[in-house]
Amino acid sequence: MEARGHNGTQEPPALEALLANAHVVRIPLATRFRGIEHREAVLLRGPHGWAEFSPFVEYEDAEAATWLAAAIDAGWNAPSAPAVRDSIPVNATLPAVALDRIEGVLARFGECRTVKIKVAERGETLADDVKRVRETRRLLGAEGRIRLDANGAWNVDEAEHAIRALEEFDLEYVEQPCASVPELAELRARIHRIDVPIAADESVRKAADPIAVARAEAVDLLVIKAAPLGGIDRALAIVAEAGLPAVVSSALDTSVGLAMGAALAARLPELPYDCGLGTAALLLGDVVASPLVPVDGAIPVGPITIDEDALARFAAPADRETWWRERVARCRELLEVAAAAD
């Protein structure tokens, strides 16, 4: 059945069809990330293959419903745009770890030339960030690329101060340094003489109007994620309307979710930046026969094969399975209401 998109007119599949082949998994992480030590996800099987529903647990149902729309789109529809590449260059992702752990974390990603470093983490100081970036630069060498992600944690003054303190490390860009579009626009105006581009993530995927940040000329590029934007076609439409370069990223997905991200990146007309789709390297396990961990700095585009033994091995506890199945039901109901309204 057709089930196209969160903002389209098609009704979502029946709940029984969504959950008939659903598996709830809980996979441990190699290092604590976003305050969690395990990643939970629901894997759904539709007529076009496997899909992942894994909004973070703190997200309200209204936001999580868009992630379900993306999973339905991946499992029940085929992307309308053709792929233009079969391999996606990816970056390593460095959480806020101690200096003596940086080399070990980066080693999990293999030969990635680019590292995204989480900064402005709770409990950390700018001095901690400077030390972490300096050590990463030392390990990468002069040719490596470093980008930062503040997840909107700085105000404009803090962001300007931090960027000036970190610019000596030759930053590729800084992702979501401030939370709001007006703050991003003010920051970009303040640092226009510094060659450090500004990227938007939350100002795209969490915004009622994902084009507003581009319309305000507040950033230089977009970071897009297929799941929170409602699927591949909707994400492509946002990039096309924004008229800005884009980086495809993940949300600490299993390889099922990463395959959807790779399919999105494969369909962008231009791909000037390495993508944040190497995060399977942060998982201590996966649910596919060939996990999408970076090899020579890239991951392949194409179908994945589920590992049935891994589904059993990483099956979530019964209470968590119930929690996720109920969440799917609530989010599906929201999609049905939205489809009826259209």
Residue 181 · residue 204 · CB < 8 Å: no
Whether residue 166 contacts residue 120, with contact meaning beta carbons closer than 8 Å, is answered with no
Residues 6+ apart with CB under 8 A from 100: none
CB 210 within 8 A of CB 238: yes
Which entry of 116, 118, 131, 206 is annotated as an active-site residue? Answer: 118
Closest C-alpha to 31, from 113, 120, 72, 92? 92
DSSP β-bridge partners for residue 90 = 275
Phi then psi for residue 260, to 5 deg, are -70, -40
* 175 known ligand binder: yes
220 annotated as ligand-binding: no
Query: Facing residues of 50 across strands?
Result: 45
Q: Would you put residue 46 in left (φ > 0), alpha (ψ -120 to 50) or beta? A: beta
Cβ neighbors of 183 (< 8 A, separation 6 or more) are 155, 156, 159
Neighbours of 326 (CB within 10 A): 10
Is the CA virtual torsion 277, 281, 283, 289 positive or negative?
A: positive
Residue 77 DSSP label: -
Tally of CB atoms within 10 A around 35: 9
How many Cβ atoms sit within 10 Å of the Cβ of residue 190?
15
225 a catalytic residue:
yes
As given in the structure block, the two tokens for residue 316 are: 């979530």
For Cα atoms 280, 221, 303, give the angle at the middle one, nearest 5 degrees. 35
Specify binding-site residues for Mg(2+).
149, 175, 201
Specify binding-site residues.
149, 175, 201
Active site residues: 118, 225
